[in-house]
Chains A and B, each alone.
Chain A
Amino acid sequence: MHLSTAGDELPMRLESKGAAANQEAGGAVGKRNWRQPARALGETARGGESLGFNMAGANSAQSLKLSSVKRARAERPARGERGTRRRRFLLLASLTLCLIGAVLVHVWLRLQVVHMGYVLSTTSKLQGRLEQENRELKLELATMTSPDRLEALARKRLGLVPPEKGQVIVLP
Chain B
Amino acid sequence: MRRSIERNHRRLTITKVLFLVVTLVVGGRAFQLQVLQGDRLMRLGQRQHLKEWIVLPKRGAVIDRAGESLALSLESQSVYARPHRIQNVDNVSRKLAGVLNLRVAEVKQKITAAKPFVWIKRQITAPEAEKIQVLNIDGIGMFYEPNRHYPQGQLAGQVIGFVGRDSEGLEGLELKYNDYIRGEAGSSVTERDALGRRVLVQGVEGLQIPPGSDIHLTLDTAIQHIAEKELEASILKYRAKAGVAIIVDPFTGEVLALANYPSFDPNLYNKQSADQRRNRAVADSYEPGSTFKTILAAAALEEDVVGKEDLFYCEMGKYPYAGKIIHDTHPYGWLSFSKILQVSSNIGFTKVAEKLKKDRYFKYIEKFGFGRSTGIDVPGEVPGLLRKAETWSAIDLATHAFGQGISATPMQMVMAYAAIANGGFLMRPYITQRVVSPQGEVVLENQPHVVRRVVSEKTAKQLASMLSQVTTEGGTGAMANIEGFEVAGKTGTAQKADPVHGGYSNKRVGSFVGFVPANNPRLVALVLIDEPEGSVYGGVVAAPVFRNIAQGALRRMMVAPQQAEALPVAANIAQGELPLRRIVKLSSESAAADNDTQVPDFIGLSMREALEKAQLSKIKVKLQGNGYVVKQLPAAGDRWNEDGMLMLNLQG
Contact = CB atoms under 8 A, between A and B. Distances in A.
Interface stretch (B26-34, B69-77, B107-115, B472-480): B69-77
A112 to B, nearest CB: 10
Interface in B194-232: 197-201, 203-204, 207, 221-222, 224-225, 229
B276 interface: no
B571 A165 contact: yes
B152 A148 contact: yes
A114 B566 contact: no
Contact of A120 (B75, B200, B567, B612): B200
A141 B565 CA distance: 39
Contact of B608 (A113, A124, A135, A169): A169
Interface residues of A, number: 32
A24 interface: no
B151 interface: yes
B68 A142 contact: yes
Given A120-B204, A132-B75, A169-B615, A139 B69 contact: yes
A170 B566 contact: yes
Interface in B148-173: 149, 151-153, 155
Contacts, number: 93
A121 to B, nearest CB: 4
Which secondary structure characterizes the binding site on chain A?
A: helix
B126 A129 contact: yes
A121 B199 contact: yes
Contacts of A171: 611, 623
Nearest to B201: A117
Contacts of A88: none
B200 A168 contact: no
A118 B73 contact: no
B526 to A, nearest CB: 21
A136 interface: yes
Interface string B119-150: 00000001000000000000000000000010
A172 interface: yes
B200 A148 contact: no
A22 B149 CA distance: 88
A142 B69 contact: yes
B200 A121 contact: yes
Contact of A172 (B221, B229, B620): B620
Interface string A143-172: 101111001000000000011011011111
Given A120-B200, A142-B151, A168 B555 contact: yes
A151 B225 contact: yes
Given A146-B153, A148-B152, A148-B155, A138 B561 contact: no
Nearest to B154: A148
Nearest to A140: B151
B201 A114 contact: yes
A168 B229 CA distance: 22
Given A132-B74, A172-B620, A139 B149 contact: yes
A170 B561 contact: yes
A155 to B, nearest CB: 12
Contacts of B1: none
B199 A114 contact: yes
Contacts of B126: 129, 132
A136 to B, nearest CB: 6
B283 interface: no
B5 interface: no
B612 A117 contact: no
B191 interface: yes
Nearest to B619: A172
A138 B155 contact: no
B151 A146 contact: yes
Contacts of B74: 132, 135-136, 139
Contacts of A116: 201
A135 B225 contact: no
Interface in B208-259: 221-222, 224-225, 229
B539 to A, nearest CB: 22
Contact of B200 (A124, A162, A163): A124
Given A139-B72, A146-B152, A169 B612 contact: yes
A145 B191 CA distance: 44
Contacts of B568: 166, 169
B193 to A, nearest CB: 8
Interface string B56-96: 00000000000011101111000000000000000000000
A86 B207 CA distance: 56
Contacts of B204: 120, 124
Interface in B580-633: 608, 611-612, 614-615, 620-623
A172 B613 CA distance: 13
A67 to B, nearest CB: 50
Contact of A113 (B73, B201, B555): B201
Contacts of A146: 151-153, 155, 221
B264 to A, nearest CB: 14
A147 B623 CA distance: 31
B251 to A, nearest CB: 22
B578 to A, nearest CB: 15
Contacts of A169: 568, 608, 611-612, 615
Interface string A115-137: 01110110011000100100110
B68 A148 contact: no
Contact of A121 (B152, B153, B197, B560): B197
Contacts of B614: 172
Nearest to B548: A162
Contacts of B69: 138-139, 141-142
A146 to B, nearest CB: 5
Contacts of A138: 69, 72
A166 B153 contact: no
A10 B567 CA distance: 121
Contacts of A151: 225, 229
8 contacts: A114-B199, A120-B203, A120-B204, A142-B72, A146-B151, A146-B152, A147-B224, A168-B566
User: Which 9 A-B residue pairs are closest in the complex by CB-CB distance?
Assistant: A142-B151, A147-B225, A117-B199, A142-B69, A166-B568, A117-B201, A120-B200, A121-B198, A170-B560
Interface of B: 68-70, 72-75, 126, 149, 151-153, 155, 191, 197-201, 203-204, 207, 221-222, 224-225, 229, 483, 552, 555, 560-561, 565-568, 571, 608, 611-612, 614-615, 620-623
